[in-house]
Structure 1
């Protein structure tokens, strides 16, 4: 076994507890830093500049941010437990995680990342559809949708049951898809930044991006804000393809995106 896999001794409870708490702090602090940066740039420093790109017209609920941060802390702990479980599986040789960059060739690094994101997208889309079933929505997904107007702090605001559904996907992926440890870390960063951008409620993509060969397949704030307001549309996570294929993309999306990103709208608002 590669000695670099021997990070902690799972027979020692104090090591397991300490590492779990360390992972919790890393995940939670990462969430706080990314959310704070986007909130500061788009709402505090550039509030007027980005006003025309604000998607929802209402205001946040009283105490919404505190509630979102509380649930995000719980989510971070669940994610930490998932990370510890994945580390145990890695040390036991039960995953396909590898550490040598040249093992599958450098070309495979971005390829494995793209494959993992597509697998995650497929898993999330159908899990998300499932969470909207009447019998599951209240118990699993209602907490997240209580943020009718989302914010950067909404990114990790899930009920623990939903957090668990979100947490198991990466361990499942590395069970069958070889991934370098750096690629896994890159994916975790993408997951965090994407979640914050999608819940920003301010569109960051440029004008006409929805017509670009790549842009039309990527999800941003306009796309996901419509999910929070309509509930039964726009279930995707990173990409729009499942929503397009399953006819669940909001009919309002293209018009709203173009309205929020139009330079003419921005110029008129500042005259």
Structure 2
């Protein structure tokens, strides 16, 4: 029992730092602590989040990570017994496999996220699954993992699928968690730091900007994608840059 407790604590701290504190802390520092005239000009909403909002977001995010850590402990022991598709020696795969695996995670996660996110907005599910995250009408970087228990299971369920079917090195997974945290923190920072003109580029326009996800928090019915807005455009749920 002591061994499991230690393993759980190590996993929790690793996830807390990699997937939450580092990405959320960086964006909080640049846009809320070290604010300037330039960053204020990037602010999307006039309404400012309160300290009570931030404390709630942190509490919910830590709770989500406590639950996710329990899942990771199960996965860790499954991997040790060879029950997953994870591999632990880079030499087991070609040199390009790690990069390809990372790219696959980005694409697959975006599809998974759009699908589950839209489902969570259905009236029968919204209140019990997703409403907690939308209490952040003016989101902050600390809201990136602010999930209710069922949403936590849904969001992290993606990893429950890929590790059993996609050969990945644990380092690739950790790198992806950090990347995902940084992109999420950017999307919840409330400041549009990418020039609107750049977002009209024939390729870049398919990437979600901060404004797109900020609009999701205020309009609810639009912009369900994680990294890309391709599925939003295809299914008529894309909303682009009206005043928030």
Q: Indicate yes or no: 2:78 matched with 1:89.
A: yes
Any idea what the Cα deviations from partners look like across 1:112-141, whole Å, max 9, x if unmatched? 111121111111111001100111100010
Change (3 A) 1:33 1:109: closer
Can you give the 5+ residue segments of structure 2 that lack an aligned partner in the other structure? none
Residue 201 of structure 1 corresponds to: 190
Residue of 5, 12, 15 corresponding to 1:27: 15
Cα distance per residue 1:85-108 (max 9 Å; x no partner): 221221121111112223221122
* Preserved CA contact (<8 Å) 1:28 1:72: no
Per-residue CA deviation, residues 181-236 of structure 1 (Å, 9 max, x unaligned), is 22111111111111111100112324422133542222231110010010000001
Q: Does 1:48 align with 2:8?
A: no
Given the alignment, which residue of 191, 214, 221 partners 1:232?
Answer: 221
1:1-271 → structure 2 map (5 Å cutoff): 13-30=1-18, 31-61=20-50, 63-250=52-239, 252-253=240-241
The answer (yes or no) to whether the contact 1:82–1:168 under 8 Å persists in 2 is no
The answer to whether the 8 Å contact 2:199/2:209 transfers is no
Higher RCO (C-alpha under 8 Å, 6+ residues apart): 2
Give the SS at the match of 1:98: coil
Structure 1 residues not aligned, in runs of 5+? 1-12, 258-271
Distance 2:201 2:73 in 1: 40
Tell whether the 8 Å contact from 1:148 to 1:229 is kept in structure 2 after alignment.
yes
- The 3-state SS of whatever aligns with 2:62 is helix
Structure 2 length-normalised TM = 0.93
Structure 1 residue 62 displacement after superposition: 5.5
Q: What TM-score, normalized to structure 1? A: 0.84
d(CA) in 1 for partners of 2:14 and 2:56?
20
Asked if the contact 1:141/1:158 (under 8 Å) is kept, the reply is yes
Q: CA RMSD in A?
A: 1.8
Shift of 1:43: 2.0
Q: Which stretch of structure 1 is more off in the superposition, 170-179 or 205-214?
A: 205-214
Larger radius of gyration: 1
The worse-fitting range, judged by mean Cα deviation, of 232-241 and 212-221 is: 212-221
Q: Residue 81 and residue 203 in structure 1: after superposition, are their counterparts in 2 closer, same or farther (change >3 A)?
A: same
Q: How many residues align?
A: 243
